[in-house]
Structure 1
Amino acid sequence: MAKTFTDEDDALLAELGVDLEPKRSGVRTAREERIIAGFEEVQRFVDEKGHLPRHSDEGDIFERLYAVRLNRLREQVDCRELCAPLDRQGLLDGSARQTAVPDNELDDDALLAELGIEVDTPAITELRHVRSSAQRKAAEEVANRNACTDFDQFKPLFEQVQRELDTGLRETRPFELKAEIEKGRFFIVGGQKAYVAEKGEQTLTDQGRTDARLRVIFDNGTESNMLMRSLQRALNKDEAGRRITDPAAGPLFAGELEENDQASGTIYVLRSQSDHPMVAANRELVHKIGVTNNDVKQRIKGAHLQTTFLMADVELVATYKLYNISRSKLEALIHRIFGSVRLDIQIQDRFGRPVVPEEWFMVPFFVIDEAVERIKDGTITNYIYDPKSARLVDRGA
């Protein structure tokens, strides 16, 4: 027989801190879970940034996405009522600063499209793009970061990777295997580039699985001392998680022409006869490294009339014939290797207009020759040029 409680019983239970209000069922629909998850992401943003998400063309695209989401939650009664008990910051009732949405502002789907995320349905009101709790957990493991105090050492690497992505020298592809997580590799997780700067000794978990402690640097200037399996989970759970491939020039050229090989062009190395003070003082070091599909001698005719040749005659130092290779990717690869010593000078064209020529580098010829040999044998992706020692060095060392 069910026991009935008196007023005295209720008072005693209240003293013990027992909530006498009837409990609502803890079971929520998938839609409700998505709405709450999306609201919690906005709350975390406000906690971290100290302000509401704003609409700005210069702002982070995720901030714009959160701003759109918050306004949609405010506009829909059922969403607002669902999230109201969780609204510790006054985001829904207007006590916090409003975030007006311009009429021409991108909606969730358009923002996601800019992020490269495919949208199967335009049902923005259902917040279908909110991550699941498992995805959020994996992302939070990655998000547990500190400021990277020596980020100035890594920032040029991220800038270089972006240039190589823009030129097609690198590509992104879905993450697949834990074995891909190695020192020196780049990934995209949580919308940010991540660089594995260090990898500790490999260990075995209680389940007999391999793991290792990593130092992961992110392109926003933060870092995380995380386990390899944590990064693996985050990449697997993030639908937009990607591995950034190592730079490659495509099918590498060989020293001898084979039956089915297709001629692609020529690498040429030039030395300038310019009387520009910087060039004259470093004539044995200043070289132009270019790639052409035309006859090189024909290409350098009239060099003294062209800004690309410093408005001066040039000496042809060396040529290397290419077969079965993308000229543009190879050129980008060479410029990546020697980008730190690109010659920074300004000259005037025939009309007196200032021009900054490209493809000129302050590097000894023997290093250029070694770089070409390493392109041939496919090992060049492991090397960078060290100006202090004037040699190619293993970037993983």
Structure 2
Amino acid sequence: MNEMDDEAILAELGVSVTPLKDGAHTAQEERLIAGFEDILRFVETHGRVPEHGEDRDIFERLYAVRLDRLRAIPSAHALLASLDTQGLLGAKPAVVDVEELEGMDDQALLAELGIAPEDDITQLRHVRSYEDRKAAEDIANRTPCKDFERFAPLFEKAETELKKGERRALRFGRNASVEEGDFFILGGQVVYVADIGESFRTPNGETDARLRVVYGNGTESNLLLRSLQRALYKDESGRRLTAPGAGPLFRDVMERDDVENGTIYVLRSRSANPFVVEHRELIHKIGVTGGKVETRIANAANEATYLLADVDVVATYKLSNLNRTKLENLFHRLFAPVLLDLTIEDRFGRPVKPREWFLVPLPVIDEAVARIVDGSITGMVYDPQTARLVSL
């Protein structure tokens, strides 16, 4: 079969034969394409083109401006023709002054599109990852909360507890937990997680869920858990309101038993005790010190509290203004079900049962510290059967 026959067959199948362009797209062209793909996603999601107007959210307004700019650039039509299956570029710009655009140089046009000059192509104005943009769009899409009277007393109570010091506002950590009934501060507003839907697996393997989130101004949104996490982490003023009665582990004012800068340390024993040898990767000592960990463990081989053996430091966590006693008690409560039940003889032959040693995997200790810092440890217990922290 000759070449003409091949082309005829392709034509019958409705497939056009277009010569391949020599070379890849330039960085500027790639950014034009990426910007247009954002607009296409918006149209696919909302069933309409992005519109101008102060009543529209910031992303829709940005996409509307970008679409007008692209419509006014002839070279963009040729570049994006294969993507423009809905004929978006054929319409006239809604508000843009075409003559003004024609008088702008390429660099100014690119700047209007959120694209930096060619010599600084890594700097994009207003451009974030798709995940970050999706998170912000979810947050922005709010509707009036029709049953806000149900939640108003909860907001008032949380505000009162915060003023009394019964709750604290703590910085939100990356991917920190979000539970039903949690309060947060996002964009200067108090946020309440009213409901968490059934969890599901995203294409990239993350676990996510749809939330019902109520805001202190009487609005609500149904956003993804991951979107809320990203928004809280990105917001410099994003905070978690700790649960009342949790007890302040980290303070703004120093008190007795507080240390200005402390370290939570996790140790693993080199003991030759048969049980320790068998479970060495699982047995950990968790402690808190206001000094150097190296100094604290320098004489470990001669101290029963360290199982009369040298130890390895497997993890440390630097913290500020922590209450050492309360923190140690919290670890003891949390991991009480797996407290190491081991009796050894000290240097004088007396039986000793060391404390602060637990049969718990290191990743679980990592999670516990993260939850302590962001305040989500309240109501959590360690389940030895699943080797996980779970809600009561």
TM tier relative to shorter chain:
0.3 to 0.5
